[in-house]
Amino acid sequence: MKFCVIIAAALAAAPAAAQVTPHTAPAAAPRTILFVGNSFTQGALSPLRNWRADTVSDLNNAGYGGVPALFKHFTEQVRLNYQVSLETQGGQTLGFHYDTRRGLLDRAWNVVVLQEYSTLDPQRPGDATALVRDTGRFVTLFKTRNPAVSVHLMATWSRADQTYRPTGHWYGKPVTAMAEDLRRAADRARAAAPGLSSVLPVGQAWNRAFVTGVADANPYDGTAFGQLGLWSFDQYHASLAGYYLEALIVFGRVTGIDPRILGRGEGAADELGLSPAQAAALQTVASEELAADLIRPRR
């Protein structure tokens, strides 16, 4: 009995550090990603615009979810931890964001996605002068805060209204031409800013969807049975399917994961109204374009 009392007293006097307690390693900090762009990043004129806005941080407090929220949802499904932010303004250029919103953006990020105005220069369609300048300014800004940041420049899609309407700058050319011009401009910007990590081939993914028959290339004569329409009702912005393809390209390039891993039952597609077959087709287009882009020479 005396022995038991001595043991109990010793245990009571033992320092807390000597007592064994369960230990859980702290969770790794999320990777931060910032999207800078306009309505093409917001998901304008589609159900995506305000979708799951509570899962991302809108630096302008405008309540947008858009492509950033879709990217976030993709990463959650493959158990990646990203803290997603966006700074967007409809109808504006990268120069606008640099000149007027720089105070919101000037911090250390792990990843940045930049998206320029759809025709490059609003007054001079196809002119890449400002794109080259502003891409360089942003790369310098973000690299100063975090030398290891990955900065990606999006090359967006051909606008049907710019292709099929007489007032369009690309009128009379193949529907793929505008996207190819935008890609050449983005490649110029990358050559002038060696710190730019990559050009995101969104426009080339749209072109691939047209060529492979996944999507209808001319919305003005109706959408063929079994094909997707990638434009919204203004034949300018993207439809849900068009933005979905955009987000898949961003997801695949930023994470290095083949978009096909998301599968036919991908959650956002199901929630937003894309069929399993449509989701799988768009994932395949994105996967194939990302693979082709790795070996495509810069132009």
Higher pLDDT, 162 or 17: 162
| Residues 268, 272, 277, 278, CA torsion sign | negative
Domains of the chain are 28-295 (3.40.50.1110)
Per the CB < 8 A criterion, the answer to whether 71 and 33 are in contact is yes
For residue 166, give both structure tokens.
């007489």
CA distance 240 to 43: 8
Nearest CA among 81, 144, 150, 82 for reference residue 113: 150
Model confidence pLDDT, tens digit, residues 78-137: 999 999 999 999 999 999 999 999 999 999 999 999 999 999 999 999 999 999 999 999
pTM check: above 0.75: yes
For residue 12, is pLDDT > 60?
Answer: no
For residue 11, is pLDDT > 70?
Answer: no
**Pairing verdict, β 57-58 and 31-37:** unpaired
Model confidence pLDDT, tens digit, residues 137-146: 999 999 999 9
3-state SS, one letter per residue, for 183-247 = HHHHHHHHHHCCCCCEEEEHHHHHHHHHHCCCECCCHHHCCCCCCECCECCCCCCECHHHHHHHH
For residue 149, what pLDDT band results from cuts at 50, 70 and 90? very high
Higher pLDDT, 297 or 197: 197
Beta-carbon-side half-sphere exposure of residue 102 (alpha carbons within 13 Å)? 13
Per the CB < 8 A criterion, the answer to whether 241 and 140 are in contact is no
